Amino acid sequence: MKLIIDETRCKGCNLCTLVCPYKIFQEGTKPNHKGVVVPVLDRPERCTNCRLQKLYGRVLCGVCQMICPDQAITWVDEDPYSPEKVVVEE
Amino acid sequence: MTRLEFWQGNIACAEGALAAGCRFFGGYPITPSTEVAEHMARRLPKIGGVFVQMEDELASIASVIGASWTGTRSMTATSGPGFSLMMENIGYAIMTETPCVIVNVQRGGPSTGQPTRASQGDMMQCRFGSHGDSSIIAVSPASVQEMYELTAKAFNLADRYRVPTFVMADEIIAHMRERIEVPDTVEIVERRQLEKGALPFAAGEDGVPGFPTFGQGHGVHVTGLTHDERGYPSSTDPGVHDRLVRRLVGKVEEARHEMADYEVTNPDAEVVFVSYGSPARSVKQTVRDMDDERVGSLRLRVVWPFPDFALHEFKNARVFLVPELNLGQIAREAARHTAVPVVPIPELGGELHTPAQLAEIAEGYL
Amino acid sequence: MKDFREWLREDRMPHIYCTGCGNGTVINCTLNAVNQMGWEPENTVFISGIGCSSRAPGYIITDSLHTTHGRAIPFATGVKLCRPDLHVVVFTGDGDLAAIGGNHFIHACRRNIDLTVVCMNNYIYGMTGGQGSPCTPLGAISTTTPYGCDEAPFDLASLATAAGANYVSRWTSYHVKELTRAVKAGLETPGLSFIEAMVQCPTGYGRRNKLRDARLMVQWMRDHSVLMKKWKQMEAEGRPLPEDKFPVGEFVRRHRPAMGVPEE
C-alpha cells in the first residue's frame, strides 16, 4: 500500500505532522497551484499501514487519516509495474 | 354513514386530524387551544401514533417538521404567543417544503392579551409572519363541523402542495359545543412520493416535487439554506435563489383556483359581506334576517391563498363589508383585488358582531 | 461498508471548513464509529442546527436535516419518535447547543430520547466570525469579548450528566481514537448520548488567543486535558483542580428510562 495526500483536498494545516509517530509527514516548503503548502512525505514506506494493512485486513494506526480535517490522507494500492523511474540512493 | 356527536370545536379539530391519518402531535399547552393537545394525548397512543409534549412552541413545530420527514402526517396546535414563537420554523417548513398542519386558535393580542377571548388578529401573521417571500395555505372554520372537516382537508392541502397549512380557528369556534355529523371516513390525498433516483427538489409543472421520505434510501439533504434541485446549499447564486423562491410562492398562488373553497349567497347583491371564521355566523343570520336580494355574502373557507376571483362573482356589488375580529386584515387584502369600495367592520375584545349591528351598517349602503 | 470515507458525499468535497478546523476530524471520528456499528446509510439520519458544526450532515450521503439555529434536537425528536428504527445522530456546536438551543438540550437529556448528540465545542461562534459563546473561557478574547470574557462558561458534559443523559463523555480533536470509541459507545447506548468534542477554531479563536495555528491549538488541548481517572483522583485527594485544565473521558454511563428506543 502507498500513503498519499490528496492535493485537491489538503488545505495545509499540518496536523498530520503533529501526530505521526514516525514523523513521516514533514512540513512542506513550496505552495502548489492552489497556494496550499502540502506536507511532504519522508520515507512513507515506514508507515505501518503501508506494510501491514493488507496483511491484517484493517487500518492499523491511521491517526493521520483520522485527524486530517480535510479527508486528504489515504492509502492506495501500489501498481506493481509502475513505469516510474526508480531512484537508487547512493 | 355518519354519526351524531355533540363536540367542542377543539375536540372536533383533533378528531378531524385523526380521521385524516394524523399520527404525530407535538405541542405545548396554551389557552385556548390546549384541548386539542389533551385530546391527542388521550387518543394517539391508542392508535399507534405519537404524542409528545415539547418544552416550548419552538420545539413543538420543530418536532412536527422532523416527524413529517418520516412520512407521518403531523400537526401542532397553538394560540397567540405560541404562534409567534413558531414563526422561524414555519419559514423552515416553507423553504424545505415540509407538509404539516398548524392549528392556531386565535386569541386577543398583541402579547399575552386576552387568553380566553376570540380574535382573528393573526390572519396576516400566518401569511407574512416568517421572514422572506413565501406563500402558505390557511383555512378558517366557522363551525364545529368545519373544525373537523377543514382540519382533515388541511392535511390533504399540505401534502398536495408540500406547504405548511394553517387551521385559523378562533376561541369562539374552538370552545363552542355544537352538533356535528361525523363521517365514517374522510377523503385522503396522499403525498406524492419522489421517484427513485430523481432530483429531490426538482419540480414538475405544478411546482411541487415528489417527497423523499426518510429511511427509504433517497439520501436527501434537507436544508433551510437556499438550495439547488439536488438539495445542496447554494446560497450566493442569485439565479438559484430567484428560481427557488418564485417556485415556492408560485406553486401555491397559481393553484388558487383549484384549492378555492367559498360560499356565495345572493350573487346579484349590491351590498356584500365578506367573512370567514366565527363572524361568518353573524353574517349568515344578518342575511337571513334582512331577507333582501340586494344583500349578499361571500364566506371564505380557504382564506389563503386569497380567492380574488370570488369577489368578481358579485357583478353588481357596490360595496364589500368585511366584519372581522381585528382592525381590518382581510379587508385590506380584499381591497387590493377590487375597485369596489371595501369597508372593514372591526370588532375587538372577543365579542362577535351582532346581526342587528351588521344589518344596521348594511342598511346604510342600500 | 468497509471504509468510513464511503459515507462522505464525494461530490460536495472539499468542505467549507477553514484550514486546520477540528470539525473535519470530528466528522471522521463520528463516521468511523457509525461505520463500525455496521449501520446502513438508508437507516441513518444526521440532523444539525446552524453553525460551522451543523454543515456536517451536508457532507454525508444519508438522509439529513440541516435545520434552524439551536433546534436540531427537537427536529431529531420528531424523526426518532416516528421512526425509532432509524439511527439518529445530531451534530451541533457550543453556540447552537448551549445558547439558543440550551432548553432543548436539557429537556432531551431529561427525556433521555434515543439520540446521539455530538457537540463540536470550539469555544466561540465560528460561522459568524468568532463571537463569544456560552463556552468561551474566562478571559478569552473574541470579537464580542474584546477585553476578555467576563462570564463563566458552561461545562457541557457536566450539564448533560446533571440533566439525565444516559451516556456522556468528552474528548478533544487530538484524541481521535478515544473520540471514535466514545461516539461508538454513545451509538450503542439506548437513550441520549452526549459526546462533547473540543475542537480548535484557528480562525475565530486561536489567532486572537495566542494560539496562532491549528497545531498549537491541538497541542494546547492535548496538554490541558486531564484523563478522568486522574481528575477524579485529584478530587478525591482534595488537591486543587487546575483552573486552566479540563477532564476528558467518560462522565457517565447509566440506564435511566429512555424514549424512542427501537423494540428488539
Residue C50 carries which side chain, given as an amino acid letter? I
> pLDDT confidence of C1, banded at 50, 70, 90?
low
- The architecture that CATH gives domain B2-183 is 3-Layer(aba) Sandwich (3.40)
A6 touches chain C (CB under 8 A): no
pLDDT in tens, B9-26: 999 999 999 999 999 999
Indicate the residue of C45, C77, C85 with minimum beta-carbon distance to B63: C77
Q: Following DSSP, what letter does each residue of C44-95 receive, concatenated?
A: EEEEE-SSSGGGGGGGBSSEEEE-STT-HHHHHHHHHHH-TTSEEEEEEEHI
Q: How many CB atoms lie within 10 A of CB B338?
A: 15
Give the count of alpha carbons within 13 A of C55, CB side only.
17
The pLDDT value recorded for residue C59 is 97
pLDDT in tens, B301-313: 999 999 999 999 9
C84 within 8 A of B242, measured Cβ to Cβ: no
* pLDDT per position as a tens digit, B24-55: 999 999 999 999 999 999 999 999 999 999 99
In this prediction, what percent of chain C has a pLDDT beyond 90? 96
Verify whether the Cβ–Cβ distance A15 to C214 is below 8 Å: yes
Q: What is the CATH number of the domain that holds A9?
A: 3.30.70.20
Structural domain contains residue A13: yes
* Closest residue by Cα to residue B340 from B316, B362, B358: B316
E runs forming strands in chain C? 44-48, 63-66, 87-93, 116-121, 124-125, 131-132, 167-172, 193-198, 225-227, 246-253
**Residue B125 predicted with pLDDT over 80:** yes
Calpha distance B304→B173 (Å, rounded): 19
Contacts of C22 in chain A (CB under 8 A): 69
Instruction: Inspect the interface and report whether the beta carbons of B218 and C77 lie closer than 8 Å.
Output: no
Residue A84: per-residue pLDDT? 61
Residue A89 domain-assigned?
no
- Residue indicated by cell numbers 434552524: C68
Strand partners of residue B5: B180
| pLDDT at residue C100 greater than cutoff 70 | yes
Residue A60 is assigned to a structural domain of this protein: yes
Strand C193-198 and strand C167-172: the pairing is parallel
Confidence class for position A81, pLDDT limits 50, 70, 90: low
Count of residues making up chain A: 90
Given a cut of 70, whether residue A89 has pLDDT beyond it is: no
Q: Give pLDDT, residue A83.
A: 61
Judge whether C12 and A71 are in contact, CB under 8 Å.
Answer: no
Q: Which of A13-17, A42-46, B113-117, C33-37 has the lowest mean pLDDT?
A: A42-46
| ipTM of the predicted assembly exceeds 0.90 | yes
Computed over every residue of chain A, the mean pLDDT equals 88
Cell of B307: 380567492
DSSP string for residues in B218-230: ---EEESS-B-TT
Using a CB-CB distance cutoff of 8 angstroms, which residues of chain C are in contact with residue A65? Answer: 28
Neighbours of chain B (3+ CB pairs under 8 A): C
Q: Count how many pairs of residues, chain B against chain C, have C-beta atoms within 8 Å.
A: 125
C-alpha cell at B84: 409567534
Strand B177-183 to strand B2-8: parallel, antiparallel, or no bridges (unpaired)?
Answer: antiparallel
pLDDT (0 to 100) of residue B187: 96
Tell me the average pLDDT of chain C. Answer: 96
Q: What pLDDT does B303 receive? A: 98
Domains of chain C: 4-253 (3.40.50.970)
Q: Which domain holds residue A9?
A: 2-76
Chain C CB contacts of A15 below 8 Å: 20, 25, 214-215, 218
pLDDT digits (tens, 9 = 90+) for B333-364: 999 999 999 999 999 999 999 999 999 999 99
Query: What is the DSSP code string of B99-161?
Result: -EEEEEEEEE-STT-EEEEE--TTHHHHHH-SSSS---EEE---SHHHHHHHHHHHHHHHHHH
DSSP C5: G
pLDDT at A86: 61
Domain B2-183 identical in fold to domain B263-363? yes
Ramachandran assignment for B324, one of left (phi > 0), alpha (psi -120 to 50 degrees), beta (any other) = beta
Report the pLDDT value the prediction gives residue A50, as an integer from 0 to 100. 86
pLDDT over threshold 60, residue B164: yes
Instruction: With CB atoms and an 8 Å threshold, state whether C42 touches B66.
Output: no
**Residue A88 domain-assigned (yes or no):** no
Q: Looking at the complex, report in whole angstroms how far the Cα of residue C150 sits from the nearest Cα belonging to chain A.
A: 31
Task: Identify residue A61 by its one-letter amino acid code.
Answer: C
Q: What's the fold here for domain B263-363?
A: Rossmann fold (3.40.50)
SS3 B302: strand
Model confidence pLDDT, tens digit, residues C47-74: 999 999 999 999 999 999 999 999 999 9
Partners of residue B319 on adjacent β-strands: B271
pLDDT score recorded for residue A87: 65
Number of domains in chain A: 1
The rounded distance, in Å, linking the Cα atoms of C92 and C81 is: 20
Q: Is A14 on the interface with C (CB under 8 A)?
A: yes
Set of cell numbers at residue B262: 367559498
List of chain C residues whose C-beta atoms are within 8 Å of the C-beta of residue A63: 176-177
**Are the beta carbons of C264 and C242 closer than 8 angstroms?**
no
Say if strands B164-170 and B100-108 run parallel, antiparallel, or are unpaired. Answer: parallel
d(CA C67, CA C100): 13
Helix (H, G, I), strand (E, B) or coil at C31: helix
Across the range C77-93, mean pLDDT stands at 97
Nearest to B52 among C62, C81, C85 (CB): C81
At C212 the pLDDT is 87
Which residues of B, range 114-173, sit inside 8 Å of C by Cβ?
none
Cβ of C213 within 8 Å of Cβ of A14? The answer is yes
How far is Cα of residue A22 from the mean position of the Cα atoms in its chain?
A: 12
Q: Do A69 and C215 touch (CB under 8 A)?
A: no
Residue C63 is nearest to which of B26, B50, B214, comparing CB atoms? B214
**Would you put residue B279 in left (φ > 0), alpha (ψ -120 to 50) or beta?**
alpha
Domain assignments of chain B as residue spans, ordered by start: 2-183, 263-363
pLDDT higher than threshold 90 for residue C16 = yes
Query: Does position B244 have pLDDT exceeding 60, yes or no?
Result: yes
